[in-house]
Amino acid sequence: MSKKFGLLVVPCLLFAGMSIAGSVYATAQGGTTPPPKVLIIMNEQIKPGQSGPPHQKLEGAFVRAFAEAKWPEHYFGMESMSGKSRALFFASYDSYDAWQKDNDAVGKNATLSAALTAAGQADAAVVEAYEQSAYNYREDQSLNAPVKIEDMRYMELTLFTVKQGHRKDWSDLVKLYQKAYTGKQGVHWATFEKMYGTDSGSRYLVVTPMKSLAEVDQELLDDKSVMGALSGDDLKKFADLQAACLDSVESSMFAISPKMSYAPDAWVKSDPAFWGQK
């Protein structure tokens, strides 16, 4: 959906008391995973030459700290394959109250807090900048969002900045895409509205989990097929709404990193060769 929205657009730095633990998408009936109501994203910009194994090794200290504490909440990390050198961490909650309670619990656990503080100080050596943001899931702007998240290996993330006063145009644009792609096999995306963080109130994040990058190739073929079937009037509607409401669009690809993830036991058991990597 991220690429689709762009078709017609103009030719773990952690400090004491801060937790990245979260409930990583409770598994629903049929093995699929519904998106979380509240998504917390931690964004670390990594210094040149420090991504990959050097950073993964440092992030392992956080994973061990949570594992030794047998912490009930989980998270997963990923590394950028495009754009600036970054690491993202996804933690999910059923509510903001649940997020607070998790952070409060970490703060009250002296052993865990000390381990996270030490890990954060070490991680600071390779981290250039850090930002934490909170997003709300928008089911009304998503399509076939539940997936079996433990089977996914990549995440296509597209950040849309919507012009002030044009939320209605944005909503209408999303509905057009939902209508155009409904019934298209394999097409899925989850939309999140940014509630807290830089440019909150005007940004929407579209997340497309993928098993392999071959899905990008198929996505491009689907886009060509769907858009080619639209009438001239429909194409004009898409173009007019995008011009009216979109200030900017940026897509990035990330690879999920098991070494930087505190994954649930069920995930490790489902694929120990991947999620069991240390």
Q: Is residue 278 part of a domain?
A: no
> What pLDDT does residue 70 have?
97
> Does 15 have pLDDT greater than 60?
no
Highest mean pLDDT among 26-30, 116-120, 176-180, 221-225: 116-120
Count of beta carbons in the 10 Å neighbourhood of residue 187: 22
pLDDT category of residue 231 using cuts at 50, 70 and 90: confident
Residue 66 lies in a domain: yes
Which pLDDT belongs to residue 229?
Answer: 83
Q: Please report whether residue 43 resides in a domain.
A: yes
Of the candidates 134, 66, 125, 131, which has an alpha carbon nearest to the alpha carbon of residue 99?
134
Which of 166, 161, 164, 149 has the alpha carbon at shortest distance from 25? 149
In a domain, 164, yes or no: yes
- Is position 272 within any domain? no
Residue 238, domain member (yes or no): yes
Instruction: Place 12 in a pLDDT band, splitting at 50, 70 and 90.
Output: very low
Nearest to 206 by CA among 165, 162, 168, 150: 162
Q: Is 277 inside a domain boundary?
A: no
**Structural domain includes residue 276:** no
Alpha carbon 54 to its chain centroid, in Å, reads 23
pLDDT digits 0-9 by tens, 17-35: 334 455 555 444 457 889 9
Residue 222: which CATH number?
3.30.70.100
The model's confidence at residue 212, banded by pLDDT at 50, 70 and 90, is very high
Are 146 and 193 contacting, i.e. CB atoms less than 8 angstroms apart?
no
What's the domain range around 74?
2-266
What does the pLDDT read at residue 33?
A: 85
221 contact partners, CB below 8 Å, separation of at least 6 = none
Predicted confidence band of residue 5 (pLDDT cuts 50, 70, 90) = very low
| pLDDT of 278 | 86
pLDDT tens, position by position, 158-178: 999 999 999 999 999 999 999
Q: How many domains does the chain have?
A: 1
